[in-house]
Structure 1
Amino acid sequence: MTTTTSTTTSRTLSRPDSLRPFTVGAYGFVLLGVGHLALSAATALTAPTPQQRETDRAMRESAFALMGLERTTLDLFNGLSVAMSFFGITCGLLILAAVRHAPALVRHRTAFGWTALAASLAVLAVSVLLLPPPPIIVLTLTSCAFALSMSRAAPPSARGTTTA
């Protein structure tokens, strides 16, 4: 007589990956910065409409001095626009580097992850109030990606070693 026994292998349910959505959020920041920089360059290279010429003229005529430097409103507008593009690109690239070199910052709920989510949500709020649809769309996706990552991340360890 042959007896067969059945063994059941238990599988541990693994936590969904928190790195992938966080990486998507970081690439969203890079895309936002590159897209904004490209739009600024394209706008500067195209012939302005009569309304744009009038607006540019009015912004050139509106000058102010701050800490000994005289600038026009157009200077300020263009300077902030380009600077924010570079900051968006830089933030995204720094987040990608951190994810690659210190994935525990994302695998656990840390201040690093919460900061990326908070920044994305804050810029999304400003975009909803003041900007056109493209940044609203991209920042909605980045915010959702960072939030999904944080929901998938493990709680911080009791020892506090991963709460950087």
Structure 2
Amino acid sequence: MNTAIAARTSTGADPVRPFRIGAYGFVVLGVGHLAFVVATASATPTPEQRRADTAMRESTFTLLGLERTTLDVTHGMSIAMAFFVVACGLLMLAAVRHAPDLVRRRTAFGRVSLVASLAALGLALLLLPAPPIVILPVTSYAFALSLRRGAKV
């Protein structure tokens, strides 16, 4: 007789599926942002956008010997963050594929994912346009549901 008992989740449902949904949400958010950047860069700017771009090009600063315009920094940070969001989502998917117990048991892995998603949602509500405000509640709910379904450690 086998005395080993598999870890039981609190509701009987597997927490991996909602976690994957949250991770895919991060990938979609980052890829969508990169697509938006490409579309915006190839579109004809409005007169207001031209004025804003000109003002940002004229505003420069030097940090650690590198001179950059405000436009350079804004675009660079935006694109870099999109890549990091995609990377986080892909790393989450890879980790849960190879070590599903990171999610099946309520570990810091799931809690950090939820906190990051909620923090990004708060920031989106204050400063960002609609797409992240639509996607981040889904990712946050998915990570929270995954934690709820996970077995207590």
Per the normalisation by structure 1, the TM-score is: 0.86
Report the count of equivalent residues.
145
Q: Give the distance between the partners of 1:137 and 1:36, measured in 2 at CA.
A: 13
Shift of 1:15: 1.1
* Residue identity matched to 1:108: R
Q: Deviations over 1:67-117 (max 9, x none)?
A: 000000000110011001100100000000001000000001000000000
Structure with the bigger RCO (C-alpha within 8 Å, sep 6+) is: 2
Tell whether 2:64 aligns with 1:61.
Answer: no
The Cα offsets for residues 118-159 of structure 1, whole Å up to 9 and x where unpaired, read as: 100111111111001110110110000000000000001xxx
Structure 1 unaligned segments of length 5 or more: list them. 1-11, 157-164
Question: What is aligned with 1:92?
Answer: 89
Q: Kindly indicate whether residue 147 of structure 2 is the aligned counterpart of residue 150 of structure 1.
A: yes
In the alignment, the residues of structure 2 paired with residue 32 and residue 88 of structure 1 have an alpha-carbon distance, to the nearest angstrom, of: 7
SS at match of 1:48: coil
1:100-139 equivalences under 5 Å are 100-139=97-136
Where 2:45 maps in the other structure, the secondary structure is coil
- Secondary structure of residue in 2 paired with 1:146: helix
Q: Matched residues in 2 for 1:111 and 1:148: separation?
A: 15
Match of 2:38 in 1: 41
- Identity percentage of aligned residues: 62
With the length of structure 2 as denominator, give the TM-score of the two structures.
Answer: 0.92
Unaligned 5+ segments in structure 2 are 1-7
The offset of 1:17, in angstroms, is 1.1
One-letter code aligned to 1:107: R
Larger CA Rg, structure 1 vs 2: 1
Partner of 2:49: 52
